[in-house]
Structure 1
Amino acid sequence: MAARHARTRPTARTAAPASCPGASRRREELRSRRCAPQDAAAPTLVGIITSREDFEELRRDGGTEYSSFAVYLEEMEQLIGRIREAGGTLKGRAFHPGDLVDFCRQHGLSLADPGSHTAYTADPAADVEWVRYEDEPLDEFLGRLVLARRRGLVHRRLERLLAETAEAAATGVFPEEPLREAYERGAAALRRMLLGAGPGRFRLVCALRPPAEPPVEAWADLLLERTGAEDGGAVLRIEDADLDLFCSLLCTGYALGLTGGALLSGMCEERGSVAWGWGFDGGAEGGGFTPRNAADVLLDLSLPAASWIAVCLPGAAAAPGFPLDEIALD
């Protein structure tokens, strides 16, 4: 039984312009891997529906021939098994009906054409959304695809914000030097926030508020573990993709002078349950982050971001964050 939304093809795509130095490094690595001699076959790329709701929407529109989501998942497991048994590797990307509609509208494609589905699945702008299958259970793999899609949507919004500026009008790319400076400011602010928090297990949300648009938000779990060194240092445990997303978001905020906020909440080894808030002003006259009550920052977040971090708030004292400019960097 064929599915119009699931296609496979070799990895041969061109990276899109990067928004920040962190994204640039990521895509340079992707390009170098593609240009390296191939000792093994390229991974098979598969667009995979990740939720029952998305499946039912696609089925209503005639986009799949599968009778149920359960049957679809069984077929996906069998497909993955065949690829792995043959010694191949596989990368997946979340196939989302709403993203497909946006892609077809943007590129002037017919939504009913199966070729449009193939083009959407292999969209070169979606490099960060491809996830390599690592022999985990299918539900865990689907969860990783959902996270990668969420990150990809944020990256594309950040790139669009930078591309629509006067600075990028001539070339379509924001100038490298001010972008690099903005990236360094964002990375330094993030380091100060984490150093000031100290060892513990936290959730972090960072948000930008572009004029007349919904907020652009990134959120992730992180762990700060003691190193055992005499200086009381800590090592950060966080997904590389999440760290890159935070830095890219703050880079864009500083580069464009946007406002926003950050909320860090969780269990600190020294202080117990905590919730710190900051306002963000990346303008020319702004210093970046300033302490703001965590409860007020929470009210400015979207419902998904607020709901995600709210699980850390019961029992936490919602307080203004500590002044970041008082945290020294080595």
Structure 2
Amino acid sequence: MDALLDVPRSNARSNQSTAQNLRANMAAVRVSFTWMGTRKTLTPEQRAQAAQPFEAEGQYLSAGKKLLDTSHSAFKAVTAIRGKIASTWKSMSLPFPEPGVRLIRQDEVANFSFLMTDYRAELADAVANLDRHYSELKVAAAERLGRLFNPGDYPETLVGLFDVSWDFPSVEPPDYLRELNPALYEAERARVAARFDEAVQLAESAFLEEFGKLVSHLTERIGGVGEDGKPKVFRDSAIGNLGDFFDRFRNLNVRSNEQLDELVAQAQRAVRGIGAQDLRDSGDLRQRVATELNRVQSALDGLMVDRPRRRIIRPSKPSEV
């Protein structure tokens, strides 16, 4: 979906300064996965066999088979680690308009690498455990697939077929272009500058959208009543997720939108020192917080409506993650 963001002309200079600051203090970071596929397309002969009960022609069918039971607890453990890795990468970084690349604070690079190293070891342990269940998974697959089962579809071991890697690619124009082709070097400098200008807009848009969803959800849960006339039930995570957002916003905010900064500060004041159980125990407190967050939500709605003076095209999600 296109992300639309209001960029008033009066802010052009401050936005340029923000982009320069982003460029000076952030590093590009990329995460990639090696991941065994668990589905395989049927051969033409197999498609023809599958089509017979329907009196159809195999060439007009698209069909595949599932090689392993991905709902097995050992396989789910491997998948869960991939989810944690992707979540950590995204929570510590900002979007960048190049597929598969995000921006991380330079002073967080070492910490990020440390976390990824730990996750990689955890993934290796989980894969080793999955490999111990591999024989039983193949037996189960043979029973489920029947004549579609082909031992040749299965490697001898799963070790090495699931892995994660990360790197910090340069997004700056190479220095050798400066002397080799000055005109091309300047063109690349302009392109990179435009990329970081767009990164500012993407970051602001991402924060605005996430903040709006969190405030809207919490306001609806604590301010509404159910069909029985009683206050709606809400999870502790409704408060916890907002607190996590405040921390991430403080660490990664590019300071490009004073209105958004102020609204985040207002929401922080509204819930400061208040836990989920406090809201459950006090109807008055619950109503007060809901009222204050409603004001924040109304202002956010205005920002969302007024922002499409400039269209930012979100890059497609990288296939690696």
The question of a shared fold, defined as TM-score above 0.5 by the shorter chain, is answered with no
Higher helix fraction (1 or 2) = 2
RCO higher in structure (CA 8 A, sep ≥6): 2
Higher strand fraction (1 or 2) = 1
TM-score of the pair, normalised by structure 1: 0.25
Structure of larger gyration radius: 2
